Structure 1
């Protein structure tokens, strides 16, 4: 029997080593199911993730209200961390008061990145100049607080790199839901950036993206869901959640021709280094249901 489109995919067999979902939107995951985005809903989602071997998640904001929620949600469960910024499509009216509020949130200890920020030329909600100004401000913020910059890049590859080059990149830069081809991946890797791959890398018609994922050095890769969007193959179009990062991790390991346990360990180490996350001990793995 074919599952209904609105049903969540099944929770897969747990990964042999835990990974981090480097970019998700837990508030939107809950709202998409008509559930209040409270501590109970967050714990249920990360419990499902842990059952698949996705031991920690970074929930990401796209406006000030979501940033406040993400920073608070990161205090509800020790497997949850946050990233805060104003999404490029929300920057038409990015005030000094907004900037001060974002900076205060980013300085909280469980907020591990400045994001998502960048450029989005697909939608026309915010003029390009306003987006670039906000992007430059977020770049400076990441450098001042010493936390990674998490980039949203939609149809804006060349301008993203131009702004980063002009402003000077922070020490750590992550391209969330990397969407470029092999040439763009090379340009990013040459600059020392980390590329985070989501569900689209599993799509059979995404050949340029899959070529990029096969090329990127192992220690420059993260996996993410961007849930509730971009559910991996073969569940495209159904609701996404952090546990589905396990499907993407297996697909990338297979694409690269490496053992999934080895791949999971490498990307986990990269996430821990990049976001200053505590290492997962054997005790933690057992508690989270990873063994």
Structure 2
């Protein structure tokens, strides 16, 4: 699967706050980290939050963040991963150890709920895992990164029950304006991916439009969710400018002002500069 061309650089640096540099897609292997970082920095994306969402991925994220100045890490058990585990207790113990292992592990995530890929039989374990990740984020003062697929109301129910941590992000926000307001009223940062450029995403663009400038983030979720006009091809952090320009148009923001806000918001959401 070929890589899309490099877009025009942004006028101010921004952070890709959710990426999977270790994940290959299709027949093409993951790009070497140094190459991926250089390509992103060349278009105004000099920093990335690397997310690990199973035990091997979490170990990789911690090691990568310790190795590369441009990276910080998030570690967790993805909601689709939790029901497959032989022992949630053992896996959570390792996630906690990894989360506490290095000051460049800034986040517990992605955790949450996914009612698209996991059926009724796995949802109790998913919810237990989510609750335990919320507790971990609060105890370690880490940012909570939430995966929410077809589970909007259940995510809010669990958050309200447990109490949200000080900093939390709705990764790849997928709701409408009403759901955006519900999340924002609880203190969320809303992170928008390439999906905001998709033709059928009018409710998502309405959500983006009502999000205050100090609560909006941008991400790739690479290698997935490649923005238009390259939807379906391999995504990477160097394509963030396509999403940011689309976001500025939807919001009516000056591009430079939006970039500066995205940069500052990501630092605030993930516990400061790196």
Q: Does residue 193 of structure 1 match 2:188?
A: yes
Residue 79 of structure 2 corresponds to which residue in structure 1? 88
Report the secondary structure of 1:174's partner residue: strand
State the Cα deviation string for residues 16-62 of structure 1 (Å, max 9, x = none).
00000000100014886225x7xxx1110010000111110011111
Q: Does residue 226 of structure 1 match 2:217?
A: no
Q: Does residue 148 of structure 1 match 2:143?
A: yes
Pairing of 1:82-231 with structure 2 (within 5 A) = 82-92=73-83, 93=85, 94-107=87-100, 108-124=102-118, 127-231=122-226
Cα drift, residue 244 of structure 1: 1.1
Residue 54 of structure 1 corresponds to which residue in structure 2? 45
User: For 1:120 and 1:278, how far apart are their aligned partners in 2?
Assistant: 31
Residue 250 of structure 1 corresponds to which residue in structure 2? 245
User: For 2:26 and 2:105, how far apart are their aligned partners in 1?
Assistant: 22
Deviates more, 1:111-120 or 1:87-96: 87-96
Equivalent of 2:236 in 217, 238, 241: 241
Structure 1: segments with no counterpart, 5+ residues: 1-5, 280-291
State the Cα deviation string for residues 90-122 of structure 1 (Å, max 9, x = none).
112342221111011111211110000000000
User: For 2:215 and 2:273, how far apart are their aligned partners in 1?
Assistant: 19
User: For 2:116 and 2:273, how far apart are their aligned partners in 1?
Assistant: 37
Structure 2 length normalisation: TM-score?
0.95
State the Cα deviation string for residues 160-187 of structure 1 (Å, max 9, x = none).
0000000111111100000001110010
| Residue pair 2:143, 2:169 contacting (<8 A) in 1 also | yes
| Residue pair 1:21, 1:54 contacting (<8 A) in 2 also | yes
Task: Number of aligned residue pairs: give it.
Answer: 270
Runs (4+) of structure 1 exceeding 3 A deviation are 29-32
Q: Does residue 262 of structure 1 match 2:253?
A: no
| Residue pair 2:58, 2:74 contacting (<8 A) in 1 also | yes
Report the secondary structure of 1:28's partner residue: coil
Structure 2: segments with no counterpart, 5+ residues: none
Task: Give the root-mean-square deviation of aligned CA atoms.
Answer: 1.5
Pairing of 1:30-41 with structure 2 (within 5 A) = 33-35=28-30, 41=32
Structure 1 length normalisation: TM-score?
0.90
Q: Does residue 78 of structure 1 match 2:72?
A: no
